[in-house]
Amino acid sequence: MNLLEVKHISKIYGKGEASVHALKDVSFSVLKGEFVAIVGESGSGKSTLLNIIGALDNPTAGKVFIDEKDIFSMKEKKLTVFRRRNIGFIFQSFNLIPELTVEENIIFPVLLDYQKPDKKYLEELLTVLHLKDRRNHLPSQLSGGQQQRTAIGRALITRPSLILADEPTGNLDSQNTSEVIALLKEASRRYEQTILMITHSQTIAQTADRILNVSDGIVTDFGRCRQ
């Protein structure tokens, strides 16, 4: 069953002579629980694609369906709630709230939904993320790897069906990189979450279920790496 369907997405920045075609008629679909790596050179349109899938940016043309729902037909308010509940984001620069502790950062999206965090699940996440003894630390007191694991925790806490990661290991050393990738894969397996991850590393891309290559705004499916 497809969790994500991208249909004829185009994105043009600017107008007239100065216009840039960031994405050109992109279509593909992703299965539930699939772990997809998106590769491509800088400026090829990878981040634009991810931002559009995450409804952070609007396409010039085309549609995106998540769980069979046309996300761009939703009104702003509904879309925010949908994003909050169904999509988790992980950024290269972590983007944690510096004033909050690890635990508070993780549960923040739940609080935005006026819910009480599921304590058991939180404990589970903290254990999986190896952050139990760091739960009361501030981001500034953590290593890069720990910060990124916190950001992963924040992306997972709402149990979203889709996780979008924009070079989550870009700021990490090889040890932390493999830890983070392992975690994402574990999440994808354990909670049946679909993951789209931008990466520059061929090695990481090879560990994904499938690789999409973006070049000059055109997406080519490199197919499944492993079954």
Partner 1 sequence: MRSYLSLIPISDRKHKHSNIMTKLCIMFSVFMVTAVFSMAEMGARMELDRLAEKHGGFTIQYLLGTEMGQSFFLTAAILFILILVSGVLMISSNLHSSVSQRTKFFGMMRCIGMSKKQTIRYVRLEALNWCRTSVPIGIMLGVLAAWVLCLLLRFFAGEEFINIPLFKISLIGILSGAVMGILTVLIAASAPAKQAAKVPPVVASSGNAGNIQLVNHRLYNRFLKIPAILGISHAVSAKKNLFLITSSFALSIILFLNFSVLVDFVGYLMPQSASASDIDIYSTDSSNSIDYNLLQKISGMECVEHVYGRRVVFDIPAEISGESKYNANVDIISFDNYDLKCLQKDGMLQKGTDISKIYENTDCALATWDNSCNWKTGDIIKIKNGKLSIEGLLNRDPFSENGLANGKLTLITSDETFQKLTGISDYSLIMIQTKKNATEKNIEEIKQAVGGEYIFKDKRDQSTLGTYIAFLFCIYCFLGMVALVSVFHIINSISMSVTARKKQYGFMRAVGMDESQITKMIASEAFIYALTGCIVGCVIGLPLSRILYEILISNHFKYAIWNIPITQISIIILFVILSAAIAVYSAAKKLKKYSITDIINEV
The residues that touch partner 1, with contacts defined as CB under 8 A, are 47, 50-51, 54-57, 76-77, 80-81, 83-85, 89, 91, 93, 95, 97-100, 104, 107-109, 111-114, 154, 158, 166
3-state secondary structure of 146: helix
Residue 158 or 177: the one with the smaller Cβ distance to partner 1 is 158
212 neighbors 220 (Cβ within 8 angstroms): yes
At 129 the three-state DSSP class reads coil
CA 97 to chain centre: 18
- In the complex, the smallest distance separating the C-beta of residue 80 from partner 1, rounded to whole angstroms, is 4
DSSP class of residue 153? H
The letter for the amino acid at 168 is P
Chain centre to alpha carbon of residue 51 = 9
Q: How far is the CB of 166 from partner 1 (least distance, A)?
A: 6
Residue 153 or 209 with smaller CB distance to partner 1: 153
Give the number of other CB atoms < 10 A from CB of residue 89.
Answer: 21
Closer to partner 1 by CB, 63 or 84: give it.
84
Amino acid at 89: F
Minimum distance, C-beta of residue 190 to partner 1, in the bound complex (Å): 22
The closest of 102, 108, 51, 55 to 78, measured between CA atoms, is 55
- Identity of the residue, 56 or 225, whose beta carbon is nearer to partner 1 in the bound complex: 56
Residue with Cβ nearer partner 1 (25 or 57): 57
CB of residue 227 vs partner 1: minimum separation in angstroms?
32
Cα separation of 148 and 46, whole Å? 20
Cβ closest to partner 1, residue 72 vs residue 91: 91
What the block records as the tokens of 196 is 């789209």
Q: Give me the least distance between CB of 216 and partner 1, in Å please.
A: 20
Q: Tell me which DSSP letter residue 132 carries.
A: G
Least distance from partner 1 to the Cβ atom of residue 51, Å: 5
- Nearest residue to 26 via CA among 55, 48, 57: 48
